[in-house]
Amino acid sequence: MDRNNRLQLAQEKLKSIYGYDSFREGQRTIIEQILNGTDTIGIMPTGGGKSLCYQIPALVLPGVTLVVSPLISLMKDQVDALTELNVPATYLNSTLSASEERQRQNRIEEGYYKLIYVAPERLDQYQFQQLLSRINLSLIAIDEAHCMSQWGHDFRPSYLTIATWLEHLSQNPTILALTATATPEVCKDLQNFLHINERQVISTGFERTNLTFKVKKGINKKKFIDSYITSKKKESGIIYASTRKEVEQIFQHLSESGVSVVAYHGGMNEQERSLSQEAFIHDKVDLIIATNAFGMGIDKSNVRFVIHYNLPRTVEAYYQEAGRAGRDGEPSECVLLFSLQDVRTQAFLIEQSDRNAIRQEMEYKKLQQMTAFCHTERCLQQYILHYFGDDTNKTCGKCSNCVHTGEKVNKTREAQMVFSTVKRTRERFGKTIISQILVGSANQKLKQLQLTDVTTYGLLKTWSQKDVAEFIDILMAEDYLAPMGTTYPTIQLTEKAVQVLMGEQEVFVTETVTTVQREENDDVFEALRELRKEISTESRIPPYMIFS
C-alpha cells in the first residue's frame, strides 16, 4: 500500500471506529511519520490524544503493534476500551492465570491481535522474546516514555532495559515514544536511548488553553475546599493530597458534609481502589480525593477541576496531575493550595530518601522550581511552558497572576535590604539566617557568627520571619536571587539584584498576606534615608556598601 492510501485509511479508521472527524494537531504528523516507517518521539500535553498516535497506525500497518506501558491497571482499561470498539487487543501481565496467559499467547501467534500491551519487565523474559520472534512486529509504542529518563520525575528502572532490548531485537519495527512531560533534558535522553534525531521529534507544545491555573496562599484549606465544592455543585473534580492520612481526613470531612465523594490511595487494597476509580470514572460520584497513586493514563474527559491540597514535588508531576482536568477541551480549573509547611515536608522526604547525592540534589532543584511556581508573579501557564523549554512570551490572561486584582506595590527598598544582607554576609547563608538577620532575631547562633553586627540587622523587625522568608521566595521566583547547593541552599545575588541595589531597577510585587505593609519606625527610617540618599545621588557604590 502506498503512502497516500495508508493515510486515507487512517482517516477512515478515525471516523469509522472512533467517530472523530479529524486528527488533532500533532496527531496527523506523528501518524504520517509512523506510517512512513520513521522512528518518532511524540510530545503532547496530557489529554492531547497520544493513544490514537499508535492505535490508528496499529489498524493500518500489516503486523502487530506492541505497546509498552507502565501500569497494569492502565493496560486493562485501554484494552477494555479497544475491545468495546471491536479492535482486537490484549495484554500480558502478572494478573493473568497460567491458562489465560497460554490462551492469549496462542491467539497472538495466530495473528489474532493488532495490539499487545505489556509492562517493560516482560521484555526481558526469554519466553516472551521467543513469542515475539515468531510474529511480525510493525510498531513498538513506548507510552509514558519519560519513565526512561533519570531526569524525568517518574523514572522507572524497568524502563531502562527497553533501549538495550530494542538493540537486540531481530526485527526492525518502527519506534514511537510518547510523553506529556519531557523537559529538554528528558527529551535529549530519549533521543540518545532510541537513536532518534531532532527532526524526528514532534512536539505540539505543552500549552493547555482551556485550563485556568490558580495558586492560593495563606488560606484555611479546609474552609476553602468547603466553599469551592459548594460553588461547583455536581461538577466532576479531583483533590490531590500528598499522604494517605490527609486523603482520609479530607474524605471524612467531606462525606460528613454530604458531598458525593470517594477516596483513593496506596493503603487501600486493589479491590477498594478499583471500586473508587470506577465510581468516579462512571460519574457515580462527583469527587475523588486521592494521592498521586491515582490518575496515570485515566481517560475521564469531563473533569472540571483539579485541586492540589498539598504541594507536589515537581512541576512535571504537578502539570501531569493538574492536566487531568478538561481533557474534553472545555474550560476547567487547576487550583494549588500553598503552604510553607508543605515545602518543608517535601524537603524532609527528599532528605530522608536513600537516593544518592546527585539524585537528591536534582530533586531539591525540582522542588525549588515547584515552589517558585507558587511565588512567581509571572503568568502561571507561561511559567510552566518556560519550565518545559518553550520560551513563549504569551500570557494566558486568566490565571491568578494574570487577573490578580491586588495592587502591585513597590517593594524595592525591602528587596534592597534583603540583597544587602546577602551581599554583606558574602553569599554564605540561606533563607533562614538571612531572614533572622533582617527581623533582628535574638537567636544565639547569630551572635556567635557575629551576624548581629551586620548593618541590616533588625531593619525588617516589624515583619515576621516567615514573611521575610516568603518574600525571599518571591525574589527567587523572580530571578533576583539564586539558590546554590542542596540540603541547606545558600543564596546568591543575580545580575538583576545588583541592578536593584544600584537603584537601576525597581521591584514590584502583588500585595498578598506575605508582604504586609510595614510600619515604618524611626530606626528603619534612619537607615533608609541613608540608602535613599546614596541611591538618589546615583553614586556607583558597590552594593555591599549600602546600609553602612
Establish how many alpha carbons lie within 13 A of residue 234's alpha carbon, considering only the half-sphere containing its beta carbon.
0
Q: What is the closest distance, in whole angstroms, from the C-beta atom of residue 213 to Mg ion in the complex? A: 21
Q: What is the closest distance, in whole angstroms, from the C-beta atom of residue 115 to ligand ADP in the complex? A: 14
By CB under 5 A, which span of 67-75, 302-310, 394-402, 406-414 interacts with Zn ion? 394-402
Of residues 32-51, those binding ligand ADP (CB under 6 A): 44, 46-51
Of residues 402-431, those binding Zn ion (CB under 5 A): 402
CA proximity to 77, closest of 233, 244, 294, 260: 294
**Of Zn ion, ligand ADP, Mg ion, none, which one sits near residue 396, judging by CB under 5 to 8 A according to partner kind?**
Zn ion
Of residues 121-140, those binding ligand ADP (CB under 6 A): none
Burial of 522 (0-12, 13-18, 19+ CB in 10 A): exposed
Please pick, from the candidates 396, 460, 475, 531, the single residue that binds Zn ion as defined by CB under 5 A: 396
Which CB, 50 or 411, lies closer to ligand ADP? 50
Burial of 492 (0-12, 13-18, 19+ CB in 10 A): middle
Which CB, 50 or 324, lies closer to Mg ion? 50
Give me the long-range contacts of 205-209 (CB less than 8 A, separation at least 24): 205/45, 205/385, 205/390, 206/43, 206/45, 206/180, 206/319, 206/384, 206/385, 206/388, 206/390, 207/45, 207/381, 207/385, 207/390, 207/392, 208/45, 208/46, 208/47, 208/323, 208/326, 208/381, 209/396
Which CB, 65 or 376, lies closer to Zn ion? 376
Dmax over CA atoms of the chain, in Å, equals 88
Q: What is the closest distance, in whole angstroms, from the C-beta atom of residue 94 to ligand ADP in the complex? A: 24
* Distance in angstroms (rounded) separating the CA atoms of residues 280 and 287: 7
Of residues 274-303, those binding ligand ADP (CB under 6 A): 299, 301
For cell 537601576, name the residue.
Answer: 504
CA 510 to chain centre: 24
CA proximity to 19, closest of 27, 28, 9, 11: 11
Which CB, 277 or 421, lies closer to ligand ADP? 277
Q: What is the closest distance, in whole angstroms, from the C-beta atom of residue 42 to ligand ADP in the complex? A: 9
By CB under 5 A, which span of 46-54, 244-252, 357-365, 497-505 interacts with Mg ion? 46-54
Q: Residue 41 — φ and ψ, nearest 5°? A: -105, 125
Please pick, from the candidates 399, 438, 468, 524, the single residue that binds Zn ion as defined by CB under 5 A: 399
Strands (E), 427-510: 481-484, 490-493, 508-510
Binding flag, residue 379, Zn ion (CB under 5 A): yes
Which CB, 44 or 263, lies closer to ligand ADP? 44
Binding flag, residue 23, ligand ADP (CB under 6 A): yes
Q: What is the closest distance, in whole angstroms, from the C-beta atom of residue 28 to ligand ADP in the complex? A: 9
Which CB, 214 or 232, lies closer to Zn ion? 214
Which CB, 23 or 280, lies closer to ligand ADP? 23
CA distances from residue 343 to 7, 22, 291, 379 in whole angstroms, order as listed:
49, 44, 17, 21
Cell of 61: 500497518
Of residues 235-294, those binding Zn ion (CB under 5 A): none
Q: What is the closest distance, in whole angstroms, from the C-beta atom of residue 50 to Mg ion in the complex? A: 5
Element (H, E) at 126: helix 126-133
Binding flag, residue 510, Zn ion (CB under 5 A): no
Q: What is the closest distance, in whole angstroms, from the C-beta atom of residue 402 to Zn ion in the complex? A: 3
**Of ligand ADP, Zn ion, Mg ion, none, which one sits near residue 230, judging by CB under 5 to 8 A according to partner kind?**
none
By CB under 5 A, which span of 44-52, 492-500, 510-518, 532-540 interacts with Mg ion? 44-52
Element (H, E) at 90: strand 89-92
Which CB, 268 or 402, lies closer to Zn ion? 402
Using only C-alpha atoms, the chain has a radius of gyration, in whole angstroms, of: 27
* Distance in angstroms (rounded) separating the CA atoms of residues 69 and 218: 40
Which CB, 30 or 468, lies closer to ligand ADP? 30
Q: What is the closest distance, in whole angstroms, from the C-beta atom of residue 377 to Zn ion in the complex? A: 11
Number of residues that bind Zn ion (CB under 5 A): 5
* Distance in angstroms (rounded) separating the CA atoms of residues 344 and 340: 7
Which CB, 205 or 430, lies closer to ligand ADP? 205
DSSP per residue, 198-233: GGGEEE--S--TTEEEEEEESS-HHHHHHHHHHHTT
CA proximity to 481, closest of 391, 417, 392, 535: 417
Of residues 117-136, those binding Zn ion (CB under 5 A): none
Cell of 285: 460520584
Q: Which residues contact Mg ion (rule: CB under 5 A)?
A: 50
Residues of the shown chain interacting with Zn ion in the complex, contacts defined by CB under 5 A: 379, 395-396, 399, 402
Applying CB under 6 A, the residues found at the interface with ligand ADP are 20, 23-24, 27, 44, 46-52, 299, 301, 327
